[in-house]
Amino acid sequence: MIAMIRYLSELLDQRGRRHLYAMLAAQAGQGVLQGLGFLLVAPLVATLTTAPVDWGRFWLWAGAIVAAVSAHHALLAWSTSRGYVVGTDVLTGFHERLGNHLATLPIGWFRGDRTGPIGRMLGKGTMDVANVPAHLLRHVVVGITAPTTMIIGSFLLDWRIGLAFAAGAVLCASALRLLMVIVRRNDDDYEHDIGLSASRIVEYARRQPTLRAYGVLDRPELGTLEESLVRQQGSQARLTIRGAWGLIAFFGALQLVVTAVIALTVLFTLQGTMTVAVMIGLMIVTLRMLDPISQLGELAGTVQVNADAIGRVRALLEVPPLPEPAVPAEPAGTGIELRGVRFGYDDVDGGGPVVLDGIDATIPAGSFTAVVGPSGAGKSTLLKLIGRFFDVTEGSIRIGGRDVRELGSAGVSRLTAQVFQDVYLFEGTIADNLRMAAPDATGADLDRVARVARLDEVVERLPNGWDTRVGEAGSTLSGGEKQRVSIARALLKDAPVVLLDEATAALDPANEAAVAGAIAELARERTVIVVAHRLSTVVAADRILVLDQGRITEHGDHDTLLAAGGTYARFWAERVRARGWQLR
């Protein structure tokens, strides 16, 4: 609870923190006043049991009760409205902190399987976090302070009952703890599974063409979505059933304590060691205490779920961002040097199995380098490290003589244009998609890069030309057309270094020729590194790096490598064979 309040306060600015603490103080005061209101019934009843009745004292106690109840309601109204203000502040702080932090994370951190959990965190997680000050804290704070006040007061009325209450409080607190531990353990699994299902649903929708092409829509053994939904249902059922056992334990303990206290109160009264006034007062206290404590029990699960949501936000906020230089270095040129580069994926700290193992390479400014090698050799990873999607585990990557870590992410982004295998086009027009690279680009600029990237013929053919909406993820353009848009976008950015991960998917001859021409144009007067899958691209390169199992095994130009008769010669022979077969 204390930790939850601390986390919340971290999401707030100073003004928000003041609001939070004032609200908590009001809620604590509210609990104390509620407890007092019930405790004061005992002295009130006591005045009625004396003969003659002391009406002066009676009205004094009655006035005190009315004052306590009124003050309690005033604080309740104030703290409830304050709760909404703090909830809104937390929501704003949460979005701001999370947004700012996500922007500093390595690009490589945003893997496909993270889309579901991040989406859930920003949707339901956001509401869970804001819900804590807006609705939950009041019940928790009052649920603790009101019974505590009543227990302390009951010591004054009868120390034996006070002791019984104190023992009962320990028992109930332990049961509550148990309930929360059960919920926390099972909620972690449930959240993990629901996040996974969300990612799978997105994947399932995006992979429809492949799934339908192979007719595997109804085969559960192939459907990871089905598996993840079944897992999610299982973890949800476990959370509900185990949580219910926790609740039964808590309410059982509460019932036991109440029964024991009532039995003791009656016993002491019958023995004549407790007055009737104290008995009535304690009975009222016991029964009224049930209310806030039951509410605490009923909400404990929700409190834990929300505390977990806050914990997940914190965990995300603790993912280390890429370190950025205080003053970014300026590159001198656009040559690229890789020295002793080692890297392994393990989320973002590179501690996983080694993917690149001691890469040394010099890529002169203005050259066109093709990287080839078997699938999984680490070609795309190499490109991503140059673009600073991640930092290397060991060694260094320099552009223009400066380490990419000294250039900073923004510096590297300014220097490089990147064309990926999976071209993602945003909802909007083709022109909008190009202008992402240069918001101020004129129509003439667009026409110029379209000519170079062979996009002009696509634009001319489309009914609304540049204003044609591409549909979400570019679903209305063919693969080759999307690549041309992506290359045109890179051209428009006009960065001196181009990192291009050529799509593995085969293109029709017209598209292949157009894309090859576009790449050749892109390579003019720029430093270009291409993960090459097509012969036309490899042939166009000045220099070829052959990557195998994370190491550069051969490098040189096409003729030299072919004559060497090694991995490259085999790669070339296979591709030529495959192409020959395709054309026949």
Ligand X SMILES: Nc1ncnc2c1ncn2[C@@H]1O[C@H](COP(=O)(O)OP(=O)(O)OP(=O)(O)O)[C@@H](O)[C@H]1O
Contacts with ligand X by CB under 6 A lie at: 111, 345, 355, 373, 375-381
Find the shortest distance in angstroms from Cβ 550 to ligand X: 8
Give me the least distance between CB of 355 and ligand X, in Å please.
4
Q: How far apart are CA 276 and CA 413, in angstroms?
A: 81
The 10 Å Cβ neighbour count of residue 444 is 7
Least distance from C-beta 415 to ligand X, angstroms?
21
- Token look-up 């066109």 returns 368
Minimum separation from the CB atom of position 557 to ligand X (A):
21
Q: How far apart are the first and last CA of the chain?
A: 72
Backbone angles phi, psi at 224, to 5 degrees: -65, -25
CA distances for 309 relative to 156, 247, 300, 315, angstroms:
41, 21, 14, 10
CA distance 290 to 97: 40
Q: Which residues pair with 545 in a beta bridge?
A: 371, 555
DSSP character string of 262-308: HHHHHHHHHHTSS-HHHHHHHHHHHHHHHHHHHHHHHHHHHHHHHHH
How far apart CA 238 and CA 183 sit, in angstroms, is 10
Min dist CB 379 to ligand X, Å, is 4
Closest CA to 152 of 31, 292, 62: 31
C-beta of 61 vs 568, nearer to ligand X: 568
Q: How far is the CB of 377 from ligand X (least distance, A)?
A: 4
Min CB(552)–ligand X separation in Å: 12
What is the closest distance, in whole angstroms, from the C-beta atom of residue 372 to ligand X in the complex?
Answer: 9
By beta-carbon proximity to ligand X, the closer residue of 139 and 379 is 379
Cβ proximity to ligand X: between 446 and 546 the closer is 546
Which C-beta is closer to ligand X: that of 157 or that of 377?
A: 377
Q: What is each CA distance from 245 to 181, 188, 241, 301, in whole angstroms?
A: 12, 18, 7, 12
d(CA 126, CA 309): 8
- In terms of CB distance, is 78 or 345 closer to ligand X? 345
CA-wise closest residue to 485 among 526, 515, 463, 505:
515
Q: To the nearest whole angstrom, how small is the minimum distance from the Cβ of residue 111 to ligand X? A: 5
In the bound state with ligand X, the residue whose beta carbon lies nearer, of 109 and 155, is 109
Contact between residue 529 and residue 383 where contact means Cβ atoms under 8 Å apart: yes
The residue among 346 and 557 lying less far from ligand X, judged by its C-beta, is 346
For 253-268, b/e burial (b = at least 16 CB within 10 A) is: bbeebbebbbebbeeb
- Write down the least CB distance from residue 497 to ligand X, Å: 19
Strand partners, 556: 544
- Provide, rounded to whole angstroms, the least separation between the CB of residue 505 and ligand X: 12
- Toward ligand X, which CB reaches closer, 139 or 534? 534
Minimal distance in Å, beta carbon 27 to ligand X? 46
Q: Which is nearer to ligand X, 380 or 476 (CB)?
A: 380
Tokens describing residue 245 = 């056992």
- Please list the residues that pair with 528 across neighbouring strands: 368, 498
Spatial separation of the C-alpha atoms in residues 1 and 299, rounded to whole Å: 13
**SS3 labels along 152-217:** HHHHHHCHHHHHHHHHHHHHHHHHHHHHHHHHHHHHHHHHHHHHHHHHHHHHHHHCHHHHHHCCCC
Distance CA 280, CA 18 (A): 41
Residue 476 identity (one-letter amino acid): T
Residue type, 31: G
Residue 122: CB minimum distance to ligand X, A: 21
- Residue 164 or 355: the one with the smaller Cβ distance to ligand X is 355
Nearer to ligand X, 128 or 548 (CB): 548
Q: How many residues does the chain have?
A: 584
- CB nearer to ligand X: pick between 195 and 292: 195
Residue closer to ligand X (CB basis): 203 or 226: 203
